[in-house]
Structure 1
Amino acid sequence: MLIEKLIIKSVAVFIILISNVSYAEKIIEVNADPKKGFSFPFLLKIPTNIDTNYLVVETNNTGAVSDDFDVHYQSAKKAIVGNAVGPWVAKKLNSPILIPIFPRSKTDWEIYTHALDRDTLLVESGDLKRLDLQLLAMISEAKKELTKHSVKVHSKVILTGFSASGSLANRFSMLHPDSLQLVVAGGLNGILMLPVDKVSGESLNYPLGINDFKKITGTGFNKAKWASLPQFLFMGENDTNDAVKYDDAYSDVERKAIHLVLGQNMQPDRWTKCQDIYKANDVNVVFHTYKDIGHGTNLKIHNDILSFVKENI
């Protein structure tokens, strides 16, 4: 594991970041604290006037591998003041937002941390062990920091994501549905983690399905709780970004299983099949496939998301 070689930025425990931020907002940086359960720092943006007492969470997605931690740090710092799904929703709600700074190694490229793939979840020791639990610990710490700033938020959070962070949001929702108020995820490569052990006789292990869920997580899958969780899942009709083709996202074994039971074509075959399986399992989900949209979003999509969020908080 290369984590010990990564250059982790040394900062004070709490820093106000002024660049590109309105003076009406504060961005607090919280150092890694393994004793509290998280081995990487995170950013927490707090608007001066809180209109919505929910913490928005969107995990970082650098979009590239690098063994220089500062690359991921700068990407997350830019994202929290940008207009990706989570930061945009947080601005419109006037709510706080948390973005972790998880690395994505070039040397250990098969560990696709930003998507919470199988390799990531199977890390048994070191700084990368159970990033999902680390995120829960960050959320807990963020709530304590918000209290220090006279902000009290709901116990459950709004989890958003797009592309790799969208896949992470989808997978995290199945791991920890109790911690979430709702989920918004897009740019999902036409594939979702499925709430079933197998399809057409083919066993589906994490992150394809729940066949080995208890074995690798130590807990059973709470299907009832997860299925009741409000979810907004979307793709652009012209999206051709198929992560299934790439070895960092899926192994050969996973790729063969996907092609066998869900189809080789991302859209419409695989995306439609996943939707059918969710609907057959009575999942509380709203699906959208947006015309004339590729691997991205626009104002209509953002406004649809905002309406969904307001209806479910």
Structure 2
Amino acid sequence: MPYHIRQPRAMRIFIVSLLAGLFFLQLPTLAAVPAPTDTVLRVEANPAKGFHYAYFLMVPKKAPRQQPLYLLVETNNTGKLNDTLAVHERAARIMAAGPGGALGRHLAKNLGVPLLVPAFPRPAEQGNTYTHALDKDVMHAGGTLKRLDLQLLRMIEDARTQLQPLGIALQPQVLLNGFSASGTFANRFTLLHPERVRAVAGGGLNGLLMLPVAKVQGAALPYPLGTADFKQLTGTRFNARAYRAVPQFLYMGALDDNDAAPFDDAYDNAERQLIYRYLGEKMQPDRWAFCQQVYTQEQAKATFKTYSHIGHGTDMVVFNDLLAFFKAHL
């Protein structure tokens, strides 16, 4: 079963009820004073500003107003294909506001920083365009799906304006967090825009990372495996210097058997052959270990961890490690 359909029991156990009073505000009716409770904003799509989908902002009541804060970003991962945009928007709203919510929500509340969750679609009519993992098909897509990475950057810029009436100012860079498909999105986004990332954490990564190299053993690695076609795809050169400066926390569960490599919505046949031949057909430990080796050789500022007690999910042990990681880079 593809990993994007699963709802891991460990993840369900992790999500605890930390709900304070939440209320939704329709812009621009925002008060310029700290809210007595967590505040959640829904921001409409704004093609004129460069993003075609709505996004959500959650501001914890403990977020300080006297200093610029880092924005935490966790992209949505609905876990299924659906042509109804409202389905994906509802999942994004739950990630940002609960009940339960995603890792990012609980991290943001504990860190006292605002959280941004985009409501990107995952259309069934384009089943192999894995939007929530920022795959190759997304990077070549047109129309409203064009360059979701750039649309996310425009949302981040727009969030500055939306948070001003709440007395919230933002740092130039963002914190990135993700698990499973959203972890893969965060990993790839960091290579695409390292200068915009203060620190990034990602888990449940199929033992497969986008590598900061153009070739392995003489074989070219195009996006999303490596940087061989980076300039052709983005119009700019890969910023290796900025990338090496980004603190990363990348993790897997030792019992995780959710491997996206065999599935066509995640990788095509050409990518799959490259993965199996050069990176490792066996997800763990072979492929996961090989990716770590490349990151180390390329001097990536990455910490790797394999949790022996879990599979494709998280728990409080993982959460506490993530919290400590982000606290160290605030």
Q: How many residues align?
A: 297
Which of 301, 311, 315 in structure 2 is aligned with 1:294? 311
2:222 alignment partner AA: N
Give me the whole-angstrom Cα distance separating, in 2, the residues matched to 1:298 and 1:172: 25
Within the alignment, does 1:111 sit opposite 2:129 as a pair?
yes
1:109 alignment partner AA: G
Normalised TM-score (structure 2)? 0.87
Give me the whole-angstrom Cα distance separating, in 1, the residues matched to 2:180 and 2:28: 29
1:12–1:31: 8 Å Cα contact kept in structure 2?
Answer: no
1:40–1:101: 8 Å Cα contact kept in structure 2?
Answer: yes
> Partner residue of 1:75?
91
Which of 39, 42, 45 in structure 1 is aligned with 2:52? 39
Higher relative contact order (CA 8 A, sep 6+): 2
> Partner residue of 1:210?
227
2:250–2:303: 8 Å Cα contact kept in structure 1?
Answer: yes
Name the % identity: 46
Within the alignment, does 1:246 sit opposite 2:263 as a pair?
yes
The C-alpha deviation readout for 1:105-127, integer Å capped at 9, x for no partner, is 1010111000000000011x310
The C-alpha deviation readout for 1:223-246, integer Å capped at 9, x for no partner, is 010011000000000000101011
1:13–1:31: 8 Å Cα contact kept in structure 2?
Answer: no
2:212–2:226: 8 Å Cα contact kept in structure 1?
Answer: yes
> Partner residue of 2:13?
none
Give me the whole-angstrom Cα distance separating, in 2, the residues matched to 1:259 and 1:13: 49
Deviation at 1:48, TM superposition (A): 2.5
> Partner residue of 1:94?
112
The C-alpha deviation readout for 1:29-60, integer Å capped at 9, x for no partner, is 11000000000000001122314821110000
What SS does the corresponding residue of 1:91 show, helix, strand or coil? helix
Deviation at 1:312, TM superposition (A): 1.4
Within the alignment, does 1:29 sit opposite 2:31 as a pair?
no
> Partner residue of 2:184?
167
Within the alignment, does 1:49 sit opposite 2:67 as a pair?
no
Q: How is 1:174-213 mapped onto 2 (pairs within 5 angstroms)?
A: 174-213=191-230
Deviation at 1:263, TM superposition (A): 1.2
Deviation at 1:102, TM superposition (A): 0.2
What SS does the corresponding residue of 2:70 show, helix, strand or coil? coil
1:166–1:185: 8 Å Cα contact kept in structure 2?
Answer: yes
1:15–1:28: 8 Å Cα contact kept in structure 2?
Answer: no
Which of 144, 147, 167 in structure 2 is aligned with 1:130? 147
Give me the whole-angstrom Cα distance separating, in 2, the residues matched to 1:23 and 1:162: 30
Give me the whole-angstrom Cα distance separating, in 1, the residues matched to 2:55 and 2:124: 21
Unaligned 5+ runs, structure 2: 1-23, 30-34
Unaligned 5+ runs, structure 1: 1-10, 17-21
Cα-Cα RMSD: 1.7
Normalised TM-score (structure 1)? 0.92
Q: How is 1:56-71 mapped onto 2 (pairs within 5 angstroms)?
A: 56-71=72-87
Deviation at 1:174, TM superposition (A): 0.5
2:214–2:220: 8 Å Cα contact kept in structure 1?
Answer: yes
What SS does the corresponding residue of 1:262 show, helix, strand or coil? helix
Give me the whole-angstrom Cα distance separating, in 1, the residues matched to 2:27 and 2:225: 39
